[in-house]
Chain A
Amino acid sequence: MANPLRGEVVRLYKNLLYLGREYPKGGDYFRDRLRSAFSKNKAVQDQEQIKALIARGEFVARELEALYYLRKYRAMKKRYYEE
């Protein structure tokens, strides 16, 4: 039943799991939501649909990176630069 895109999906999952550890609402919160999001789409077989879902997952990963960067930047700016 191994879908050729299975490797990509697993890689995406591991990546999001790693990124989610620093989530402001807690790593556990993120991990639970990640698992339910992935298991909801467990039955999807269509290649195009899977590719679209993977793209959405990658979008979330980029959003997380941006979130972490902005948090850090704003904290540094507030602490070290007088406005």
Chain B
Amino acid sequence: MSGRVLVGVKRVIDYAVKIRVKPDNSGVVTDGVKHSMNPFCEIAVEEAVKLKEKKLIKEVVAVSCGPQQSQETIRTALAMGADRGIHVEVTGKDYDTLGPLQVSKILAALAKKEEAQLVILGKQAIDDDCNQTGQMTAALLDWPQGTFASEVSLENDKVKVVREIDGGLETIKISTPAVLTADLRLNTPRYATLPNIMKAKKKKIANVKPADLGVDLTSRLEVLRVDEPPQRQAGMKVETVDDLVVKLKDAGKV
């Protein structure tokens, strides 16, 4: 086994930014808006770096698909402890239609090429909320998957994953190579401080095109329209229970 972990990181609009829809309802305003690494991807990077610090794996490779600016996201991953980066260049129309299917094809090709033992991703991106890339990647590679991981431990060539599911927690044991997706409580990601960012400048980021990996980026989806959620109606205060009943009857709820 190579002892190599591939971590996918996505550049998304920062979680604290107020999202605005474009006037023509074709999408969301991204020009000049603050972007950063998807929070779940940060947790994925942290887990990979932790595994390396425990000497359970040898190398952490950070991958991002997108335009030139995706390199900043890879640099953050390098500053958090990844060893090298791979920037898969996707621009223009291809980037607008880039979705989980295309990214998972790219990641599957890279995982085979890099002979990765584990692929760790965030469970979902905060911009599209798809929660599909990890699962699709595992399917394309025919590898087992440990999704919504809140605890990961390596035992020889098997991985024990505690998953956060609706009913509570589920513990599974899967063999490597495998795909894992990180959930919120997996770990506490470290902050990429200035000294670490300086050190990370020496680390390499390789540039790859999807065509080099033999991946077809055509999308089977078309975004028809993007709308803002309906405005929240103001609440009303009532004095007595009878008032409440009258108001409910007026609104046709009772």
- Enumerate chain A interface residues (CB-CB to B < 8 A): 11, 14-15, 18-19, 61, 65, 68-69, 71-73, 75-77, 79-81
Contacts and interface: CB of A to CB of B under 8 A. Distances in A.
B39 to A, nearest CB: 6
Nearest to A17: B194
A69 B184 contact: no
Given A15-B193, A15-B195, A18-B193, A71 B184 contact: no
B95 interface: no
Q: Which of B39, B189, B191, B193 has the most CB of A within 10 A?
A: B191
Nearest to A64: B191
Contacts of A68: 191
Contacts of A77: 184
**9 nearest A-B residue pairs (beta carbon):** A18-B194, A65-B191, A15-B194, A76-B39, A76-B184, A75-B15, A72-B39, A14-B194, A15-B193
Contacts of B16: 71, 75
Contacts of B184: 73, 76-77, 80-81
B19 to A, nearest CB: 12
A20 to B, nearest CB: 11
14 contacts: A15-B193, A15-B194, A15-B195, A19-B191, A19-B194, A65-B191, A69-B188, A69-B189, A71-B16, A73-B184, A75-B16, A76-B39, A80-B184, A81-B184
Contacts of A73: 184
Given A77-B184, A81-B184, A72 B15 contact: yes
A76 B184 CA distance: 8
Nearest to A22: B16
B81 to A, nearest CB: 15
Interface in B15-47: 15-16, 39-40
A69 B39 CA distance: 10
Contacts of B195: 11, 15
Contacts of B40: 76
Given A71-B16, A76-B126, 12 more contacts: A15-B194, A18-B193, A18-B194, A19-B191, A65-B193, A68-B191, A72-B39, A73-B184, A75-B16, A76-B39, A76-B40, A79-B126
